[in-house]
Amino acid sequence: MAEKWDERIFSTGGFVPGRGEAIDVVAPATGEALSRVGGATIDDLEDAVAAAVRAQASWAALPYTERSAVMRRAAALLEDDPDRLVRWLVPESGSGHGKAAFETALVASEFAAGAAVAAQPYGELLRSMKPRTSIGRYVPVGVVGVISPFNFPAILAMRSVAPALALGNAVILKPDPRTPVSGGLVLAEILAEAGLPDGLLHVLPGGAEIGAALVAHPHVPCISFTGSTAAGRRIGEAAGPLLKKVHLELGGNNALLVLPDADVEAAASAGAWGSFLHQGQICMTTGRHLVPREMAAEYTRRLAEIADRITVGDPTDPANALGPIIDDGQLRRVESIVAETLAAGAALEAGGVSDGLFYRPTVLSGVPLDAPAFEQEVFGPVAPVVAYDTVDEAIDIINSSEYGLSVSILTGDPYRAFELADRIHSGAVHINDQTVDDEAVAPFGGTKASGVGGHFGSSVNVDTFCELQWVTIQSHIEKYPF
């Protein structure tokens, strides 16, 4: 069946032909051609920004109830027919059915939270030394540029797009060219059906040149990027001299800390979910398992047993829990990291083999702290296990990473873990859960090399996608001595 976006982009109010070379959308599991979408050019970007600037002021001037209503309708459309997104997430991003359903529910929650954030208090009364009213209020930045990744393409786009729109901005979205449908075009279709006025959202599939031009554009004062730390550094370097508001949500090498009083069976189950969900292709994936030395052998054995049981294959078959690595380049990187870690002295307990792009869940034990699988963000289904002797040593290991996105502590004494959280340098700490978690109503963001410039979620979106303006009001013109 022909789709609205066949050889098209979404811009200036609808699906229109892109001026660039069309992009083939291919299922990584099978190589099947799923669709062919339009490719955007710099001229398309210029037109989109001009249209966004024209549309934004009147959108921001509407009563908040009208912006909220659009978001509520978008949430209802997706909740009534989640398959309109699920059917693209599964083949296009290689998502298992459970992951795709979970991601779709998250997108609906972002729309609902967007409706709520539009109604948030957007300022405060300030004290003043003068007889006047002094107000600090948040105003929309204008046009927000969003650059989103392939792994959770829908939610990692909409957690920027939905609140930015709800707060009165226009948005230019550049999805990853490997997932342009589930990461942008189908979402634009939903928002258009929900009544979003023309010109406020533009989806421009394309490569790095479109992203670079978006970052550099003088009429796009805010950039929200989710992706690798290396790419985020390049965006920061480009945007810094332009004095833009930049939000970088970057990579992670997240630790799961098993304390000596933890239930080892439950801990291994949580660790497996954290490391293997969506083939480990999540910024919050559990990349380091820290286990007391006396528990390490049993924990590793249980983790390897789980890894061996997990079904891997074409995700269109609901029987397969895991799908493919996104492409051959990423597969080769995962294989190289595992091989180098084994050469450094680690032992292979499970997995370590691939069939096409399907890489088996992999468990490594005895991993040296300077081995690639322990130091780097693997972005594959790899669980490196390290034994520790004291909790102080484990916390030092956790904090030694350049990343600071998410940490898990598994224990029989959650309040003791809460005390330990004070010593951990991480944007999130989850006690008695694994590292992968996100909610539209919670502030999400990393520290150190995992992110800078703001957070997603809840009322913090107001600060991320708005500027703070100081306004004073006096009854009469102030008198001065000259």
* Active-site annotation, residues: 249, 283
Tell me whether residue 298 is exposed, middle or buried, using C-beta atoms within 10 angstroms of its C-beta: 0 to 12, 13 to 18, 19 or more.
middle
Closest CA to 117 of 56, 167, 63, 61: 167
CA angle (440, 443, 444) in 5-degree steps: 90
Angle, to 10 degrees, between the axis of helix 64-80 and the axis of helix 97-117? Answer: 160
Fill in the amino acid letter for 408.
S
